[in-house]
Structure 1
Amino acid sequence: MTSYAHLLPTTYKSTIASWLAEDAPSFDYGGYVVGESPKTATLYCKSPGVLAGVPFFIEVFTQLSCSVTFHYPEGASLDPGPTGKLAVATISGPARCILLGERVALNTLARCSGIATASASLVALARGAGYTGIIAGTRKTTPGFRIVEKYGMLVGGADQHRYDLSTMVMLKDNHVWSTGSITAAVAAAKRVAGFAVKVEVECQSEQEADEAIAAGADVVMLDNFSAEGLKVASANIKTRWAERGRSVLLECSGGLTPENVSEFVCADIDIISTSSIHQVCSPPQRKVAGLIETEHETCRFFA
């Protein structure tokens, strides 16, 4: 069965090793205390959300000689119901190894699940408002943690937009200012990007959008427009260039949130991009990983 885990590069394993090294850079005093006695721990969900980040969670414990069994598939919508907790996975291994990996594993799973939950929620809101285009997360991710956050977007049903600076050329106002004009900036980008890499231009007006399209931009971002201004501008641009036999992808971005996304929905916008799905996750959305229980004690963990 196809899984999002198949997308992950082999380097993610060394990234996880560095996270474990960061958390225990020298002596593991707590590990000395508990020793190697075999234990079984249970991962609980404590609030509704989308389960995401399973391969990262498993790899943390695999590197520590523990075994993990998940009881629900990644992408499942989990709800603990009236009991307040739902058993999601079982971890078995030496006590010191379970305790050594628990915080790294929980932090990663909770953050990834929170982003997946926020992504699924925003997509549902946009679809409910009649939007049929793409909902995408931005590159405003946490340094060193991008792979987890972009992965969460995908599991939650959102597009990950460009992964990094090498994935797509996005010419912002500072690129245009430094180059002298949108036309010059697009021409320079096209010279080196070739046919395989799209070029997008951030525009503040219809006039800038027209210049970008004329210069050969593949995507035009209408940035920080009001909801009504966006609808007028996007309709004008699409109509004007359709009459010239030219189509272009239009993206809107800037200030979009779950509270106002429905206001920006219109047929002429192909992509709605936002950082709200990975920069603003409310605490309930991030408590997907809730409890670790051993045979003798229960510890509560919150993201």
Structure 2
Amino acid sequence: MYILKRITTMILTVWIIASLTFVVMKFIPGDPFASDADVLPEEVLQNMRAKYNLDKPLPVQYVLYLKNLVMFDLGPSIQSETRDVNTLIADGFPASALIGIQAIIIALVFGLALGILAALYHNRMLDYLSMFVAIIGISIPSFILAPMLIKLFAVDLGWLPVASWGSWKHTVLPSIALALSPLAVIARFMRSSMLEVMNQNYIKTAIAKGIPTIGIIVNHGIRNAILPVVTFIGPLFAALITGTFVIEKIFAIPGIGKYFVDSIFNRDYPVILGTTVFFSVILIFTLFLIDISYRLIDPRIKLTSKGD
């Protein structure tokens, strides 16, 4: 029952986001062919608007848009004559997802490790060192870290390539640039949550009973402390795998973020609407999976909604 309600809510949320995006796009002054008004005859402009249904009343455009959306057809791209929106997303998403997944893995592995070590060695050297790394990660934005990484590892040392796309080596620097900030946040979350859990009475009782420390940390400490981190990971995962526009621009990654930015400048309505809906679906579905994962991490949590 809970899952059915969640799926209904997810569909409703996607519809609201798609409708709001459509309204906002239509009320922005101008149209995709405004820049061609001085060079093309009016008849040609009218034919082009008719091709993309821009000559029809807004209610009709909205109905056609929803109809195509239900059929998983995001429409043709106005700027690209050879590829529709579905194709653009299919072409750009793998690169964005690869960078995002690698960044998530780096952030999780090192963020959780730093947070756990900082909590276990509270007010000692490892704690101070871990929190220093976290402060650095939070303080330096990715668009500043990226040129620094390029200067050091690509220009000065020549270890890794940049401004191109092909092998795994091209993914290392952008993944690190994306990972540092969430790594720092995860480390701080994990540290504070772990400190709180390790001070609970049941932990002290387990220690008093002589249960091995490593077992207490793994089975009770980390398992209970990681829940706040999981809440943060949901939207972070969706944001990273759908492309971070600035990083993709700096490293010349042919990801979905590039198409989204270009579509805004070119007033390519179908691409803007399509990518926005795609981002929303990824985010909403990820949050749904995060809710399910709570039950797997802690069996005491029940997946119920009000009235169940």
Instruction: Confirm or deny a common fold (TM above 0.5).
Output: no
Larger Rg computed on CA atoms: 2
TM-score, normalised with respect to structure 1: 0.28
Q: Which has the higher strand share?
A: 1
Higher relative contact order (CA 8 A, sep 6+): 2
TM-score, normalised with respect to structure 2: 0.27
Q: Which has the higher helix share?
A: 2
